[in-house]
Amino acid sequence: MRNSCILSLLLSAACLMASCGRTSGPQSAPDYISNSSISFDVIQKAWDDVAAYRASDLTPRALNDSVKSVHRRLTAQIPVVYDWWLQDGDTLFWFDRTVGDNLAMRYKGTDQATDDAGLFALYIDQCVKRREARLKAFTESAPKFAFTKYSVWNPSSFTYTEGLSDARDHRVFNPGTQLCTFSFSDKGIWGTEEVLINDTSGMIRDPEVHFDANDLLFSWKKSDREDDYHLYEMNLRSRKIKQLTSGLGTADYEGKYLPDGNIIFNSTRAGHCIACSFNDASNLHVCDRDGNYIRRLVFDQVQTSGPSLLSDGKVIYTRWDYNDRGQIFAQPLFEMNYDGTGQLAFYGMNSWFPVSSIHAREIPGTKKIMAVMVGHHTPQHGKLAIIDPEAGRDTLDGLTYIAPVRSPEVKVVDQYGRYGEQFQYPFPLSEKEFLISYSPLGYYVGNPIHFGIYWMNVDGERELLVSDPSIACNQPVMVQTRQRPPQISSTVDYSKDYGTFVLQDVYQGPGMEGIARGTVKKLRIVEMIIRSAGVGRVHNISVVGAGTSHTVSPVGVGNATWDIKKIHGTVDVQPDGSAIFNVPARLPLYFQALDSANRVVQTMRSWATLQPGEVLSCVGCHEDKNSVPMVSSATPMAMSVGAVNITPYKGKGPETFSFQKEVQPILDRNCVSCHNGTKAVDYSGELVSVEGQSKRFYSKAYLNLTHARRLTKDNESWQGDHENKEVNWISCMSEPTMLKPYTAGSATSNIITRLEKGHGGVKLSAEEIDVFKLWLDLLVPFIGEYREANNWTKEEMEYYDHYDEKRNEYAREELASVKAYMEMLKQKKN
Amino acid sequence: MRNIAIVFTALFLCSCGGGVFAPDRVMVDGETAYVADRTGLSLLAVDIPSGKESAKVAFSDPVSDMALSGGDLWCVTEGATGGLYRISPSSMEISATLPLNGYLSSLAVGSDGDIWVTDRFKGKLYKMDAATMEIVSCVDAGREPCDVFVTDSLVYVLNALPMQSALDYPIASAIYVFDKESGAETGCIMLPNGSTDAVSMERSTCGRYLYVSHLLSRYQLPTSQITRGWICTNAMSVIDLMDGSLLSTVLLDAVDRGAANPGTIRVSASDSIYVALRGADQVIGISESGLIGRLDSLNVLSAAGSVENPADVVSFLHNLRNYTVMNGKGLRDMDLYNDRPLVAAYFTGEVKDADGKFDFQKGKPLTSTKEGRGEMYFFDANMSYQGWLSCASCHPHGRTDGLNWDLVNDGICNPKNTKSLLLSHQTPPVMVSGIRKDAYTAVRSGFKHIGFLAVNEEISSDVDAFLISMKPVASPYLGDEAFEQSAARGQVLFDANCAGCHSGQYHTNMGQYAAPWNKDAQCATFDVTSLVELWRTAPYLYDGRTPTLDNDDVFHFTDRQLTPAEREDMVNYMLTL
């Protein structure tokens, strides 16, 4: 189990690793460049080898593998020259031409040579001069950057990089790593590599240079099973290393310095499991420079990743966001203030494309973002783009691919970006130039993809700065002082347990298009209850092209809600569309706009989280953040009412929705006398196990009402018919884009009309009918607690209990940390 | 012809001492820049190529606007002895003077040589005869007229502040239009709801449109809205001079970055509309043809009207604008030299161009004094999150924008009218409800809850010093014998009925009381507010419900019925404070 105390170990890098401080690499040109015949021989031999392979009787696949091995050999032996060779050619299959013909098309000069070797020397000279010109501005100030070496992780989804020692599913860990710097001096074009840490059994990642350029923050996992990623800080002068966080079974990574002296980082301390697989999830946390006062900033359904500080003090990050919608295409960039307030969509919230935006960094002097566009089931590398949020917030608006500059190659596919050259971890230097971990061969050669650190410009002109024949070079960050963003004045008040939403006009925004003013009477506030672990699964299939998935520890049949829903209650919406209300802080909450018949007009299909004491205002219902609509009144009516508390659900308070507890009693009272499976379809509450995959019992009533059935051969689990006229709902695999109002559920299900009219001599009360509406609009949940109606073995129950307890312990630790933080603030004030 | 807007924030001249150079007006004529030095009470002629001062004219009040006409340099001054001056540009000697004893805020010369002058606090528009230096006409021109623009037949007067009750909808600054011949008001162009702190007007290249700089305050949301981007947006309205209609209002802001406190507008011959951003130390350049084209594409310029409102889109000018960082603080004015911006940087004491080739400085800048630095911070939007607003956005000139704001520093859902900060340090507690024990606390709370940035103590302390240094302006109503006689009668009534609470030199006993007439308010007690400069701080009462003092709620706690005449006397007295 984890070590809960926070260690602050001062370790000497020199003591820890014998090879630390080692420098390598030339300050002058590598031998294979200063003596071009070395490179020529390597090129010529490669061509000869490929010619020999082609002349042999190798199978096409073996021939392909052999050619790939030649590419790899060239990359290892003459990295810079081979990169020039590749970028100056028009195809990777340069072996189709003779070396001489290749040279003829690459050499642009007019000097003559007597043979290929001579022409090659002229070509190299041409390339060196070009490098001098390209790097002139960059190397003028003797730049230095830090970077990491590790084998690029290759998980099934870009998100799973925690590599927890006790991971319940993916554990991506490839030992062997270095933390390095690379520096240029005297305006040269060849730099010097220095190894700060060499660890043959661990992995180092996520270097981050402090504003004053004196300290280097990074994450280090020293062992597969005996350690996890934790935050460390190295003083770049003394090389002293300080461990900031600790705990076996806990991964802390992706740390970034904040203007107020704290550090934001990603961590598995959230303790939960993702909804669509069995993997650990990470959420963003914050701690001080010593790793103290760790507090959770986001309370997100699944994964957050890649926090990146903007010049105005905001943090952007990638948030996996699939409440009530398909899981593959919903990895937008989010933003928040670094105290956790103002968590809002930044880019790509309601779009199919780009699938995922990761490794985002602000371009200095602009409000534009450079980021890598990847798919969902892809590693963390793909295509490189600049996002201009001012030009738009979704799909292709504001998105430009670079290197070279072009319109995006739009492909709405899960595994987007798994082709051709590959980019990861850009570090923008300006709107034109950047450092990048790049592989020109990428998927042409395939895994393991070998990345080097390049200087590059938006036109795609590039120079390889550093590479390692044995391992990928990743995550370049400049070692230089930088402007500290302004320090925000945090309004977070941990002594409170609530925040306040100010909704100016619910009718603003595309989500309420066509809805007459006055239609919305209330907002329902619903909390997503996230599972601690996955036991069993159901299969979900999208009918709108959002792919397929599983829900683990399923809440209902396939295509039902991802997560358990807890209803907090409702608040009134004023006739002018305004509402101001307090909600519990630090929870994932979403809203449903209800009409006078308590039907959902529009539902959020995302969630919002407030910090305690936060007041977050929104103009309308998912309005474009670029819009500032004028309001046709002096003051929102809700202003005169004041901030109201939630009218609690059923007059009692927050409660999760369980079909057995809410719907079945109504059925039992009114329906099962006929609907008993003999006279009519069975609506009894008898629990049955219809398959082995979900590891869940369902009632006959639930299965029949959802028209559940098995649809695929390779998945046993039953799926509900979410498009059935009688009972329909928004599928959990619905599109990522905005739905029209009244899309499905209580507004379109015939059962509601039937119940309202009366059926078989039975007329339910309005309150009873409202329960059915609620069930439909929550996406037909069956259970209200993840252990409810389980069909788990003892071992499976122990498995769930283990992770549940681990999560609870995290929660207790965090609570203690918050209290300590409050005490510290109190003492500081005094 | 030239219409220079007024941005005169430093009426309250602080103890800056001699040698401080604080340029806040600049006009370029050929190779000469005429520069008004607010602290030096002078007008300088500066040779731009050499960067040398060639001549200087001294006044008894700060120069507030300039224009060239008929070979003469005209200027107006603002202050107790403010007047109109004619100056020979060659000798830089005053050749004629017309004392008007007012805060003359703008000056324009018509095509017939007719001269138009506005008086900010008297709210007047004067027409002058240039030859005789006599007043031809004088008409009411709204609240705090700050810029005047003359066409062949009409005169447009821009009001800095709205005149309405803060509970009215819409509430906004307006442009009043007068017939040039008759002097009669022919129209009023309301800017969009929430428009305040209007500053400048400038004609388009084609001559058809008039560009107007102002704020567009989104006061319907609590000020915490700034934490997710914008609260005061910063705008430029486009007026159609063909029919005197408001065609459109576009936001100058970028997404996630405010173009705070737009001021002087200039239109270049090379297709740029330049707007000096007083709170952002930058000049924004907008492609004029691009703007007109974009508005045209939305049918904004056609009779059909636009479905989309450009003022709804904070990124409307995307790809049409660029920014020039001027490396000077407080861009109070701007003109064009060689078609490029040349600015007066008030706080850093510089007159400079955008390319760094011309940078005229003399003496010490305002920032050499604590009060001067405080004033700089007060007007600096860099003190707020994403540069959306400066303190002056809601407190123009340290006073009020006339709007009701919901500040989160005293809870939510209790919007209240912006208070003037004059004498706030001297009259604790502060805020309408007196929730802050003193203005020192309120300054720091303001940065925290409204600006949302952590500001160091030195900055807050400097802002204290600036606010403390603010001096009241004498009532513009004084000087009229009949009015003063009425006010004297009113003072007797006031002393008998009101001075129990509104006592002392600031007319407040600094107490807090329940206020039954404020029955809608959520606060239990209200601070007894200072009445100094009451003539300037409409609308009145905690929610700005009344634009005039002639309101029943103003006469609270009077035990006796007042006759209409008595009531008028009391109103007149209060207007003299």
Partner-chain contact B314 A341, CB within 8 Å: no
Residue from B190, B195, B228 to probe the interface with A (highest A Cβ count within 10 Å): B228
ipTM of the complex: 0.89
Cα gap B135→B153, rounded to integer Å:
19
Cα gap B176→B47, rounded to integer Å:
37
Question: How deeply is B244 buried, as exposed, middle or buried, from its count of CB atoms within 10 A (0-12, 13-18, 19+)?
Answer: middle
A332–chain B nearest CA distance, Å: 17
Q: Nearest-5° angle of CA A81, CA A85, CA A89?
A: 170
pLDDT of residue B221: 86
Cα gap A77→A644, rounded to integer Å:
69
Cα gap B546→B232, rounded to integer Å:
23
Task: Name every chain B residue with its beta carbon within 8 A of the beta carbon of A506.
Answer: none
Q: How many CB pairs under 8 A join A and B?
A: 134
A483–chain B nearest CA distance, Å: 14
Q: Is B20 helix (H, G, I), strand (E, B) or coil?
A: strand
Partner-chain contact B257 A312, CB within 8 Å: yes
Partner-chain contact B312 A630, CB within 8 Å: yes
Task: Name every chain B residue with its beta carbon within 8 A of the beta carbon of A626.
Answer: 255, 313-315
Name the residue among A598, A531, A594, A429 with its Cα closest to residue A781.
Answer: A531
pLDDT of residue B311: 83
Cα gap A583→A594, rounded to integer Å:
18
pLDDT of residue A172: 86
Task: Name every chain B residue with its beta carbon within 8 A of the beta carbon of A640.
Answer: 413, 520
pLDDT of residue B298: 79
- What residue ranges of chain B have pLDDT lower than 50? 1-17
Instruction: Tell whether the model's pLDDT for residue A527 goes beyond 90.
Output: yes
Cα gap A497→A606, rounded to integer Å:
22
pLDDT of residue B364: 94
**What is the chain A residue with the closest CA to B452?**
A489
**What is the chain B residue with the closest CA to A614?**
B224
Q: Rounded to 10 degrees, what is the CA torsion of B539, B544, B545, B547?
A: 10
A642–chain B nearest CA distance, Å: 5
Task: Name every chain A residue with its beta carbon within 8 A of the beta carbon of B309.
Answer: 629-630
Task: Name every chain A residue with its beta carbon within 8 A of the beta carbon of B230.
Answer: 628
Instruction: Tell whether the model's pLDDT for residue A18 goes beyond 70.
Output: no
Cα gap B248→A190, rounded to integer Å:
56
Beta-sheet strand order (sheet of B195-203): B195-203, B209-217, B232-240, B245-251
pLDDT of residue A154: 83
Cα gap B225→A762, rounded to integer Å:
51
Across A393-397, A815-819, B300-304, the highest mean pLDDT is recorded for: A815-819
Cα gap A598→A592, rounded to integer Å:
10
Question: How deeply is A434 buried, as exposed, middle or buried, from its count of CB atoms within 10 A (0-12, 13-18, 19+)?
Answer: buried
Partner-chain contact A638 B413, CB within 8 Å: yes
Query: In the structure encoding, which two tokens stand for residue B452, read together?
Result: 């949302």
B404–chain A nearest CA distance, Å: 9
Q: Which residues lie across from B1 on neighbouring strands?
A: none
Task: Name every chain A residue with its beta carbon within 8 A of the beta carbon of B313.
Answer: 626-628
Cα gap B273→A755, rounded to integer Å:
64
Cα gap A679→A265, rounded to integer Å:
60
Confidence of residue A14 (pLDDT cuts 50, 70, 90): very low
pLDDT of residue B14: 39
pTM of the model: 0.93
pLDDT of residue B280: 94
A267 phi, psi to nearest 5 deg:
-155, 150
pLDDT of residue B105: 96
Partner-chain contact B386 A312, CB within 8 Å: yes
Cα gap B217→B230, rounded to integer Å:
9
Mean pLDDT of A124-142: 95
Partner residue opposite B225 with nearest CB, options A617, A629, A640: A617
Cα gap A804→A812, rounded to integer Å:
12
Cα gap B415→B430, rounded to integer Å:
15
Task: Name every chain B residue with its beta carbon within 8 A of the beta carbon of A338.
Answer: none
Task: Name every chain A residue with its beta carbon within 8 A of the beta carbon of B222.
Answer: 502, 615, 617
Task: Identify whether the C-beta of residue A603 lies closer than 8 Å to the C-beta of residue B435.
Answer: no
Name the residue among A682, A266, A799, A735 with its Cα closest to residue A547.
Answer: A735
Name the residue among A428, A424, A477 with its Cα closest to residue A257.
Answer: A477
B447–chain A nearest CA distance, Å: 8
pLDDT of residue A593: 97
B368–chain A nearest CA distance, Å: 24
Partner-chain contact B167 A342, CB within 8 Å: no
First to last CA, chain B: 38
Task: Identify whether the C-beta of residue B299 lies closer than 8 Å to the C-beta of residue B309.
Answer: no
Mean of per-residue pLDDT scores for chain A: 92
Q: Which residues lie across from A141 on neighbouring strands?
A: none
B440–chain A nearest CA distance, Å: 17
- Asked which of A707-721, A785-799, B185-199 is least confident by mean pLDDT, the reply is A707-721
Partner-chain contact B385 A488, CB within 8 Å: yes
Which percentage of chain A shows pLDDT scores above 70?
96
DSSP A579: E
Partner residue opposite A633 with nearest CB, options B169, B227, B522: B169
Task: Name every chain B residue with its beta carbon within 8 A of the beta carbon of A391.
Answer: 315, 318-319
Q: Please report which helix (H) or strand (E) contains residue A66, including its range.
A: helix A60-77
Mean pLDDT of A744-764: 94
Query: In the structure encoding, which two tokens stand for residue B440, read together?
Result: 């020192």
Task: Identify whether the C-beta of residue B95 lies closer than 8 Å to the C-beta of residue B84.
Answer: no
Question: How deeply is B18 buried, as exposed, middle or buried, from its count of CB atoms within 10 A (0-12, 13-18, 19+)?
Answer: exposed
pLDDT of residue A1: 34
Partner residue opposite A500 with nearest CB, options B382, B385, B412: B412
A130–chain B nearest CA distance, Å: 32
Task: Name every chain B residue with its beta carbon within 8 A of the beta carbon of A399.
Answer: none
